Chain A
Amino acid sequence: MTRETIALKIKRQDAPGAKPYWNVFKLPYLPHANVISCLQEIQRNPVTADGKTVTPVTWDCNCLEEVCGSCTMLINGRVRQACTALVDILEDPIVLKPMSKFPVVRDLQVDRSRMFENLKKIKGWIEIDGSYDIGEGPVFPEKIREKAYALSQCMTCGCCLEACPQFTLTNDFMGAATFSQVRYFNLHPTGAMNKEERLEAVMKSGGIADCGNAQVCVEVCPKKIPLTESIAEIGRETTLQLLKNLVLK
């Protein structure tokens, strides 16, 4: 079967808080096209299927190889990156919507700064600068490096949060990616120097105890990060930290 054209049905919104509406676009079929190349085609020729010229659809993208996470959107109802969504294996029409758990900036662009704020709360970095020299980094055992590598692939794309029933637009739940990053930075021998601060940052409202173990995060993570293992591990560490805080402090 040779396809002549493909249809894209896109949920649009002109500004934050504005009323969303839909546009349908018909594009010539090209083999190996992905959703981004289709959006680029619409950018070149922003005419809807019924012949109206509209403002081009906006979206975020950067690396085009599924490592930056910025082109995350709902494609045929499923949260994923647009760059690796191949038209050849998508059902027609292709329905594009912005993620529903983050505020829409415009069209398919959303504001994921909530994730960034959470990374700041948990000190998602390794402290190496200070008023004194903390010395050379310790040797990293290979077994731990392997584990850490898997966790390091998180690209803050937000898929795990979009699909999480406990994460909503209005509550303060931090979600799987944040908890996994606590584990990641605590695994690092130098990072472990701030272990307690990171744990205590998720022992709060919206923290690890709010997780309802629906485990959808791990199903949708494009990087196959062992999120549910991270959550249980942080569950264990925070439980121990709680006991420590209660009896030792």
Chain B
Amino acid sequence: MSKLTKEDLHFFLLKLHSLTGIVPIGIFLTFHLAINSLRTVGVRQYQFSIDLINNLPFLFGIEVLFIYVPLLLHSALGFYITFAGRINVRRYPYYHNWMYTLQRITGAVVFAFLVYHMGTTVVPKIYYGKELFDAAPFLIDAMNREFQTWGGRTLYLAGIFSAVFHFANGLWGFCVSWGVIVGPAAQRNAGVVFILFGLVLGLLGAATVVEFSLHPVPVAPSLAG
């Protein structure tokens, strides 16, 4: 490719924005919600999954490269895109304009939620270091505490549902932007499929929240440790 100009870079970054929303962030979200829903099967299974993940080799590198950097990039570009436009859904209240508007609102909600969520989970982990940080008991304890109050439950449900909406609708937007679905019928049908997908993901998240709220079972120190 010939020399990269500022104009090309703009296009490239926006493409990267929509791509990072799916790979890796969307995929991470799907696994995150699916794995956490193991909590509805039992605390042991849940704890086992946490231990498994936290004992992965090169975990920190994987997290930085596949979660933190793409998340920051996606968020920064997302805010840039949001502020480049002007929401007008009140004057033009069509379905997709609502989706456009909600996509921006949920993006901002998820961002705020992640500052809190990561601040209470990832930051202690980095702060204490791997040796001193026993992931499973710490995280399960923290979550048990969160879901004791309606404030915590509301916060997490808002975060989860916003993230799920943003991802499901983002999948649709990605498919249109990249030209995977072109015709009106294809766009409509894909919309239905992604709504169903979003409902399933939302259900997994909600089930986990309900389980934590009803049965805040404390855990013993790490199984694998």
Contact = CB atoms under 8 A, between A and B. Distances in A.
Range for the number of chain B residues in contact with chain A: 35 or more
Contacts of B84: 166, 168, 171, 173, 210
A249 B100 contact: no
A238 B183 CA distance: 17
B182 interface: yes
A77 interface: yes
B173 interface: yes
B176 A235 contact: yes
Most B-side CB within 10 Å, residue of A210, A220, A233: A210
Nearest to B173: A213
Contacts of A215: 94, 96-97, 100
Interface string A209-220: 111111110011
Contact of A211 (B86, B99, B177): B177
Contacts of A229: 182-184
A228 interface: yes
Interface string B13-55: 0110010000000000000000000000000000000000000
A232 interface: yes
Nearest to B91: A77
Contacts of B116: none
Interface in B67-112: 81, 84-89, 91-92, 94, 96-97, 99-101, 103
Given A229-B184, A235-B179, A246-B1, A213 B96 contact: yes
Interface of A: 77, 163, 165-168, 171, 173, 203-205, 207-216, 219-220, 226, 228-229, 231-240, 242, 245-246, 249
Interface of B: 1-2, 6-8, 10-12, 14-15, 18, 81, 84-89, 91-92, 94, 96-97, 99-101, 103, 172-173, 176-184, 187
